[in-house]
Amino acid sequence: MTLIAGNWKMYKGPAEAAEFCLGLREHDLDGVDVVVCPPFVSLAVAVQLLAGTEIAVAAQNAHWEPEGAYTGEVSPTMLRELGVYGVIVGHSERRQYFGETDELVARRASGALAAGLFVIACVGESEAERERDETEEVLRRQISVFEPDDNLVVAYEPVWAIGTGKTATPELAEEAHAFLKSLLDAPVLYGGSVKPDNAEALLAQPDVDGALVGGASLDLDSFIEICRAGARIHS
């Protein structure tokens, strides 16, 4: 089944998150797996308001240790206690702004998996890397740190298409997804300026198993439209 995950980034405190989740509950989203990924402060309210639905809640990051002297970090076991189902690791913004390396991302992923969370592990090349024809080299390096796991999902997010309004063509996305699947047996989501008007064409590609949606997941109507596009593809 197609997986649609909404990454809210550093938007929607508890009040806005509550309003969004209450609205989301009112819609029939059968035929697609749906995940919302609020900031840490809004996880509890999202878990509470989406309880009893099929919509999962995931965090945007997690430390690899269950506890310890790591000021400012949140552990996978804490997330599990809260009722959180999964976590994103290695988002390009974590790599770009916070210096996260492939090895650090791998530690976060393995810690989360060991705690029983599902993991969306992000990989993707920058515009400069693509222009230098290094896409496959970069993806091969980034994906090499992960081991196959039933709870591991990969998200291909070309960095040049995140928050820029640029989107990989369905053909480019398919090519990258097929390459990633040749290296690791895992579902692969597409992330990079997914919107209601391009979602169906992207999700129709044979190796695109869903979407990691950024900006368009902040608006309830557009997020629902993307979810319904995913449901139509596999109906």
CATH of residue 63's domain is 3.20.20.70
User: Which of the residues 93, 100, 125, 157 is marked catalytic?
Assistant: 157
130 belongs to a structural domain:
yes
- Amino acid 192: pLDDT: 86
In a domain, residue 158? The reply is yes
Residue 167 has pLDDT above 90, yes or no: no
Active-site annotation holds for 63: no
CA 192 remoteness from chain centre:
11
What angle is formed at CA 119 by the lines to CA 196 and CA 222, rounded to 5 degrees? 15
Query: Quick check: is 97 in a domain?
Result: no
**Per-residue confidence at 164, pLDDT binned at 50, 70, 90?**
confident
Residue 6 token pair: 């909404």
206 within some domain: yes
Q: Confirm whether 131 is a catalytic residue.
A: no
Residue 100: inside a domain: no
Domain presence at residue 68:
yes
Strand-pairing partners, residue 211, are 4, 190
User: What is the tens place of the pLDDT at every residue in 17-63?
Assistant: 999 999 999 999 999 999 999 999 999 999 999 999 999 999 999 99
Measured in degrees and rounded to the nearest 5, phi and psi for residue 226 equal -65, -40
DSSP-derived secondary structure letter, 52:
T
Quote the pTM value.
Answer: 0.96
pLDDT digits (tens, 9 = 90+) for 94-129: 999 999 999 999 999 999 999 999 999 999 999 889
Q: Is residue 96 part of a domain?
A: no
Residue 35 lies in a domain: yes
The domain of 138 spans 3-84+114-233
pLDDT in the model for residue 235 = 65
Among residues 63, 91, 93, 174, the one annotated as catalytic is 91
pLDDT above 70 as % of the chain:
98
Cβ(194)–Cβ(211) under 8 Å? Answer: yes
Q: In the chain, how many domains are there?
A: 1
- Residue 149 vs residues 115, 117, 221: alpha-carbon distances, Å: 13, 11, 33
Which pLDDT does position 204 carry in this prediction? 96
